[in-house]
Amino acid sequence: MDELHGGARPSLGWAATALISEEAGVADHRRSIARSAVVWDALAGRLEACRASLTESRPLDVLDLGGGTGGFAVRTAELGHRVIVVDPNPDALALLGRRADEAGVSDRIQGLQGDSTDLVEVAGSAVADVVLCHDVLEVVDSPREALRSAAETLRPGGTLSLLVTGRYAAALAKALAGHLADARRLLVDPDGRWGSVDPVPRRFTEDEVTSLLDDAGFELLAVHGARVFVDLIPSALVDSEPGATEELLKLEADVADRPEFRAIATQLHALAVRR
């Protein structure tokens, strides 16, 4: 007691520390689900439609460009499809292998080292029913060439799932944070950047995405806005309010197809087919 009155604080026991860590991990997991739910729901629905359209009974062949550690690849393989992940990072591919083992889908996932510039050489031409190109166009030298490479790996009529970072959401976030000059720069910069130290090399508008897809030989099917609200609502509110995560998921789904909300979505998700 004297020590406490003297100002010393009792330390947390290992059990309490572990519980706090576990609760933080659960909260992070809930936010991760909320951030990817719109994209996964749209992708899963398209995978089901593609499989139903096959003239033969077989799994889909899916190519995940820049799939990294397999967030979408493993879930796709769990649906029974065959997945090839092409990524330049060997460490990410190693983690992909471990995740595939843990999920029991290692027989349906193959990791290959490469990027958009050698995609066809690494994976081959007309090898995929579906290509995932998520968070790739922001960092490649030429988004147009990357999409053309993706198109070449697709079979005729195959589907592209494209996920990019939205320009206007970044401007809104900067303005809400009080960085008004950065927000204005985001609106006019050719690459959608707020400055030379911006960690994101490139951002897109829906019109830019539509134009790139058309130039690469794709017909646009749908555009969804992902993460409209989840990045604006303080995490503490979602984590502390019972049922808030479920309501947030419903809210994101409600606005994903609305053009007025797509404009301020953190990410734009496009589904397109190769012409």
Q: Is 5 exposed, middle or buried (0-12, 13-18, 19+ CB in 10 A)?
A: exposed
Q: How far apart are CA 217 and CA 151, in angstroms?
A: 7
For residue 103, what are the CA distances in angstroms to 63, 75, 98, 107?
Answer: 19, 9, 9, 11
How far is it, in rounded angstroms, from Cα 197 to Cα 251? 33
User: For the residues 143-170, what does the mean pLDDT come to?
Assistant: 98
23 domain residue, yes or no? yes
Number of H helices, E strands in the chain: 12, 7
Strand arrangement, sheet containing 128-134: 109-113, 82-87, 61-65, 128-134, 154-165, 267-274, 218-226
**pLDDT of amino acid 15:** 43
**Within a domain: residue 6?**
no
pLDDT at position 239: 80
Question: Which tens digits make up the pLDDT trace of 82-123?
Answer: 999 999 999 999 999 999 999 999 999 999 999 999 999 999
* Residue listed under structure tokens 């999409």: 147
Phi, psi of 133, deg, nearest 5: -130, 80
Q: What whole-number distance in Å separates Cα of residue 213 and Cα of residue 219? A: 7
Domain membership flag for residue 108: yes
8 Å CB contact between 86 and 115: yes
Q: Which residue in the block uniquely carries the two structure tokens 């809104």?
A: 172
pLDDT per residue over 22-53, tens digit each? 444 445 556 677 789 999 999 999 999 999 99
Please state the rounded mean pLDDT for residues 125-154: 98
Residue 2 covered by a domain: no
Mean pLDDT of 226-230: 95
Residue 125 belongs to a domain with what CATH number? Answer: 3.40.50.150
179 belongs to a structural domain: no
Please report whether residue 244 resides in a domain.
yes
Q: Supply the range of the domain harboring residue 254.
A: 12-166+204-274
Residue 264 inside a domain? The answer is: yes
The domain tally of the chain equals 1
Residue 171 lies in a domain: no
The per-residue pLDDT for 214 is 98
